[in-house]
């Protein structure tokens, strides 16, 4: 490995300070460092466009939170470039490397002995009047959601050409196992082990309470047709990109041909991550004395 990219969370000083320490260390190991434009400008060195870094690098270090990681995953997946996510944000479900463990993780990366997981991704297409108008790749989820003042969303849903249901709800989440600890979890969906090859479909606040989350195999083609008259309804991908939908738009969700390769901590314990991030085993102050 000779070329390593670094992409930082925008507008935060901490990632730049880490890069200031990281650059001489990596160059001392004989690495060519491809640093994103904004961090490079802050340090007065040559930078590269974020769009180009995954194509040029053999691995990418992400300094930020899960949001930064998601955006980089969509850029890097076509080459299956391994991503080392350093958590400088909040929960950090997919940026699992702690700041203090960065250099140890880099030693494993450069030696080629790093542990990793390949994560399932989703492909989402929007078809309007028989023509494909947009295509996206998602690591976490594909969501159809209504705006604050819109009426309930009406989605005619089929799976591999077989009619499933006409869901009337605030929207629909289609989640990967990686995304099962994100919006999916908040909407009452199950937690899936991140390397599983499954997809979860979760109606958001359904009009019929018996409409529950469904766990599906990954070899499915899910079609959702927006039936309601034009409302404030939006398709979002990983909570970051998307477009407004119109009546009779068809959203097709399938397993992506690409995967995201995430570098893991050496002693990573997934259930330990869940206990820490979700507060499992903690007792509320009201209960402790009881």
Which fold would CATH assign to domain 121-257?
A: Tumour Suppressor Smad4 (2.60.200)
The residue-averaged pLDDT of 207-235 equals: 91
**Does the pLDDT value for residue 162 go beyond 90?**
yes
Q: What is the pLDDT of residue 289?
A: 45
Q: What is the pLDDT of residue 286?
A: 56
d(CA 24, CA 64): 20
Please say whether the beta carbons of 177 and 120 come within 8 A. Answer: yes
Active-site pick, 36, 66, 238, 249: 66
pLDDT tens-digit profile of 244-258? 999 999 999 999 999
Regarding the domain with residue range 3-115+264-278, which homologous superfamily does it belong to in the CATH classification?
Answer: Probable inorganic polyphosphate/atp-NAD kinase; domain 1 (3.40.50.10330)
**Does the pLDDT value for residue 282 go beyond 70?**
no
Q: What is the pLDDT of residue 143?
A: 98
Q: What is the pLDDT of residue 287?
A: 47
The residue-averaged pLDDT of 6-13 equals: 88
Percentage of the chain beyond pLDDT 90 is 73
Please say whether the beta carbons of 122 and 199 come within 8 A. Answer: yes
The residue-averaged pLDDT of 85-93 equals: 81
Please say whether the beta carbons of 83 and 69 come within 8 A. Answer: yes
Q: What is the pLDDT of residue 132?
A: 97
Q: What is the pLDDT of residue 290?
A: 40
d(CA 36, CA 53): 7
Give me the chain's average pLDDT, please. Answer: 91
The residue-averaged pLDDT of 193-208 equals: 94
pLDDT tens-digit profile of 107-159? 999 988 888 999 999 999 999 999 999 999 999 999 999 877 677 899 999 99
**Does the pLDDT value for residue 160 go beyond 60?**
yes
Q: 67: how many CB neighbours lie within 10 A of its CB?
A: 17
Beta-carbon contacts of 84 under 8 Å, excluding residues fewer than 6 positions away, are 59, 60, 61, 62, 97, 105, 106, 109, 114, 263
Does the pTM exceed 0.85?
Answer: yes
Grade residue 202 by pLDDT with cuts at 50, 70 and 90.
very high
**Does the pLDDT value for residue 208 go beyond 90?**
no
d(CA 249, CA 269): 42
pLDDT tens-digit profile of 179-189? 999 999 999 99
Closest C-alpha to 273, from 193, 205, 185, 176: 193
Closest C-alpha to 15, from 45, 44, 36, 46: 36
User: Can you tell me which residue has the tokens 């108008």?
Assistant: 133
d(CA 258, CA 119): 9
Give the start-to-end residue ranges of the domains of the chain: 3-115+264-278, 121-257
Tell me, yes or no, if 66 is annotated catalytic: yes
Q: What is the pLDDT of residue 278?
A: 85
Percentage of the chain beyond pLDDT 70 is 95
């Amino acid at each position: 490995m000779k070329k390593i990219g670094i992409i930082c969370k925008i507008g935060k000083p901490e990632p730049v300070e880490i890069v200031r320490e990281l650059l001489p260390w990596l160059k001392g190991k004989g690495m060519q460092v491809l640093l994103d434009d904004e961090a490079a400008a802050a340090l007065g060195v040559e930078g590269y466009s974020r769009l180009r870094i995954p194509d040029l690098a053999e691995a990418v270090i992400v300094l930020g939170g899960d949001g930064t990681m998601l955006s980089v995953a969509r850029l890097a997946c076509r080459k299956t470039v391994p991503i080392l996510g350093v958590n400088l944000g909040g929960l950090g479900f997919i940026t699992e490397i702690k700041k203090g463990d960065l250099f140890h993780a880099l030693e494993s990366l450069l030696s080629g002995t790093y542990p990793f997981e390949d994560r399932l991704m989703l492909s989402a297409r929007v078809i309007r009047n028989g023509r494909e108008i947009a295509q996206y790749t998602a690591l976490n989820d594909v969501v159809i959601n209504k705006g604050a003042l819109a009426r309930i969303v009406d989605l005619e849903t089929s799976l591999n050409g077989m009619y499933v249901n006409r869901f009337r709800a605030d929207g629909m989440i289609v989640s990967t196992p990686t995304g099962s600890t994100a919006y999916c979890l908040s909407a009452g969906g199950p937690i899936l082990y991140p390397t599983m090859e499954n997809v979860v479909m979760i109606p958001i606040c359904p009009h019929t309470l018996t409409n529950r989350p469904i766990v599906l195999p990954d070899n499915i083609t899910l079609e959702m047709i927006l039936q309601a008259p034009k409302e404030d309804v939006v398709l979002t991908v990983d909570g970051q990109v998307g477009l407004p939908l119109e009546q009779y738009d068809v959203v097709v969700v399938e397993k992506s041909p690409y995967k995201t390769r995430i570098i893991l901590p050496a002693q990573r314990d997934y259930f330990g991550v869940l206990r820490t991030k979700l507060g499992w085993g903690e007792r509320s102050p009201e209960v402790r004395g009881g």
